[in-house]
Structures are given as structure tokens and as C-alpha cells.
């Protein structure tokens, strides 16, 4: 039950992050569902790290798995934005990065340590306030087109 609630909250935060950054109307419902799936499915790496399908093993890991990294989020955003669209790749990069980084940031504010910059050594950052992420997103999203 807790993991379902956690997944729901990750999806909700992704939607709010997208709407706070770009407003409504920039993407279709189908695209929104795809973006929310990025924010939710990133947690599948818990199963890989735990080598188990048991949710108790997933939540008892000593640290976050490999995909809970800013570098991983940016790499996934780059790959999928290039694959999804030629015309809107900048927009897709920004949207995918927002959803994944919102997930990583939320997870970093509590619980096990988060590998911010895997595969490089950690710099010891345990928590980053949400406002730092929103400032970075607000500055970055101005470089991408706002409409279809």
C-alpha cells in the first residue's frame, strides 16, 4: 500500500512540476501519461538492485539504486527526447528531465542516501531543497519552445 501511495505521489508531483513550469495545453493527455510513467517507472530499479520482486526488499535497500541519479536522469531525458521527436526534442528533454529529477529530488529528501552523480563518487549531498530544483528548472525551461 505504501509503495502504491509513493508511486501516486511521484506521478502527482511530476504533473504539478510540468504544469508549474509550462502551464496547461503544451502537451496532450497521451504525452502527459508517458511523462508520468517516467516518474513512476524509475522505481523499477529497486527490484533490480534488490534482485527480488518482493516490495519489502525494495524498500529496505541501504541506498537508492543507480537510476536515482541526476546524471542518469539527464542521460535518459537525452536519449528519449532524441528518439521521440525531431521537432520537439528540446521540449521533450526538458519535460522528461523535470519528471525524473522531481522523483530523484523527492526521494533525496528522506530515507536512504541518493547517488546524485553516479557513476562518479558522491559529494555527500543528502538533501537539496525543492526551491533549488525549481529555480534551475525555471531558468532552463526558457530555452525551449512553449507551444506545439
Determine if the peptide bond prior to 119 is cis (ω within 30°). Answer: yes
User: Distance from first CA to last CA of the chain, Å, rounded?
Assistant: 38
pLDDT over 60 (residue 147)? no
Residue 58 Cα to chain centre, angstroms: 18
132 in any annotated domain:
yes
- Residues 66, 45 contacting (CB under 8 angstroms): yes
Looking at the structure of the chain, the number of domains it has is 1
> Whole domain around residue 120: which residue ranges?
2-143
pLDDT grade for 130, boundaries at 50, 70 and 90:
low
148 in any annotated domain:
no
Taking residues 55-83, what's their average pLDDT? 78
pLDDT grade for 51, boundaries at 50, 70 and 90:
confident
List Cβ neighbours of 71 (8 Å cut-off, separation of 6 or more): 117, 118, 119, 120
Q: For residues 74 and 58, what is the distance between their CA atoms, to the nearest angstrom?
A: 24
20 in any annotated domain:
yes
Q: For residues 42 and 8, what is the distance between their CA atoms, to the nearest angstrom?
A: 13
pLDDT recorded at residue 17:
81
pLDDT grade for 38, boundaries at 50, 70 and 90:
confident
List Cβ neighbours of 27 (8 Å cut-off, separation of 6 or more): 18, 35, 95
pLDDT over 70 (residue 80)? yes
- Residues 94, 73 contacting (CB under 8 angstroms): no
pTM above 0.85, yes or no: no
- Residues 18, 34 contacting (CB under 8 angstroms): no
115 in any annotated domain:
yes
138 in any annotated domain:
yes
Amino acid at each position: 500500500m505504501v509503495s502504491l501511495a509513493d508511486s501516486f505521489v511521484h506521478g502527482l508531483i511530476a504533473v504539478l512540476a510540468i504544469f508549474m513550469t509550462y502551464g496547461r495545453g503544451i502537451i496532450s493527455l497521451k504525452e502527459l501519461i508517458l511523462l508520468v510513467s517516467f516518474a513512476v517507472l524509475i522505481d523499477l530499479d529497486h527490484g533490480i538492485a534488490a534482485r527480488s520482486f518482493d516490495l519489502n526488499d525494495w524498500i529496505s535497500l541501504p541506498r537508492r539504486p543507480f537510476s536515482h541519479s541526476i546524471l542518469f536522469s539527464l542521460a535518459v531525458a537525452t536519449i528519449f527526447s532524441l528518439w521521440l521527436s525531431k521537432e520537439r526534442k528540446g521540449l521533450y528533454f526538458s519535460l522528461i528531465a523535470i519528471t525524473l529529477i522531481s522523483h530523484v529530488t523527492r526521494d533525496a529528501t528522506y530515507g536512504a542516501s541518493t547517488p546524485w552523480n553516479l557513476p562518479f563518487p558522491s559529494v555527500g549531498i543528502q538533501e537539496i531543497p525543492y526551491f533549488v530544483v525549481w529555480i534551475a528548472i525555471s531558468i532552463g525551461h526558457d530555452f525551449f519552445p512553449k507551444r506545439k
